[in-house]
Structure 1
Amino acid sequence: MNPSPPWRIGLTGGIGSGKSTVAGMLARLGAAVIDADAISRSVTASGGRAIPAIAERFGPGMIGADGAMDRQAMRERVFSDPAARQQLEAIIHPLVGTITREQTEAAIAQGARCLVFDVPLLVESGKRWRSQVDRVWVVDCEPATQRERVMARSGLSADEVDRIIAQQATRVQRLACADLVVFNQGLNLPQLEHQVTEMAHHFGL
């Protein structure tokens, strides 16, 4: 008798929602977490698979002295030029997809009972991600809370954070896509962990 295939959970949430914290809790419960954002950062780090194509398309000025993509310069570029965003995504997304498949196959081979795909822009991707997971979990909080958390951890101004939030799906759009919502508002870490653990039990964790 073949073992049951692992659950596939798509985990998403706006910047500052606490999505990465929830992903860490799920990992501690035994889920195999595949972090699309970490993969994306890895391909734009020094020696990353996307660096040659980024330098060719956007020029060597977008590559820092350390050999990684200059994230601040690129952020300013794509905010002011929507075409540049599309060009960057055309470089990065196929590479992220390839590495995601590699990590998924490895996790299944190791007998993972639950795969968690930590995808910041899951909702923005439309059907591409939704069709690949069994359930979508959305980590949710008030937009004002998002702003406060991001300012505290990053040193960005309120205007800069609001600009990032405006580039993402709205809270209403994310909630409309959710099968389950982790409401991370006014909770301490033990309370959040209790909520996540209760939800995770239904997925074999």
Structure 2
Amino acid sequence: MARTREFDTEAAVSRAMELFWMNGYEATSVRDLTQQLGIGQGSLYAAFGDKEGLYRAALEHYRTTLAAAALRSLKEGTDARSAIRTMLVERIRIAAGGDGRGCLAINAACERLPENTAIRRTVRDMQDASRDALAEVLRVAAERGEIAARHDPHTLAAFLVTFLNGLLVSSKITPDVHALEPLVEVALAALG
């Protein structure tokens, strides 16, 4: 007879996400995880397969919570420029928090790629979703005359995602929101 899982898997993944986000994959041991999650090593392996499985679950949790919230806020903005500014600044604030923990997805790309294809796919999916959401906001804004139509919306969106990736890495080096926020205005100048 199979034993019933005696812990909240979603809460465990959320706590693991925080630990991986703060320390990175390599610096987080299975012992760190079992202590933080309050579960035994056998329970961790039964639920997630291994540390890598828990890491992928944590990255997926990040995608469906924080990354998804950023995309929702982008769609809820009043005008394109304000919506994009708000999204970029909020991402900087989150990344610079916790003494510059950065962005879990960008951290995963820097630490786990190119070797880990599953992580590459997850991070690429997040990047693609951001680019596609930005491209749609930019397309509509260009149609309304809010921004110059001199650039293809997909190219401009790809630029903004690349810019954001750089900002998120920079937030680990200089976890100072006030130093990074003015850079957003420079990027917004590309909107025309």
**TM-score, scaled to structure 1:** 0.31
From the CA coordinates, give the structure whose radius of gyration is larger: 2
The structure where strand makes up a greater share of residues is 1
Structure scoring higher RCO (CA < 8 A, sep ≥ 6) equals 1
**TM-score, scaled to structure 2:** 0.33
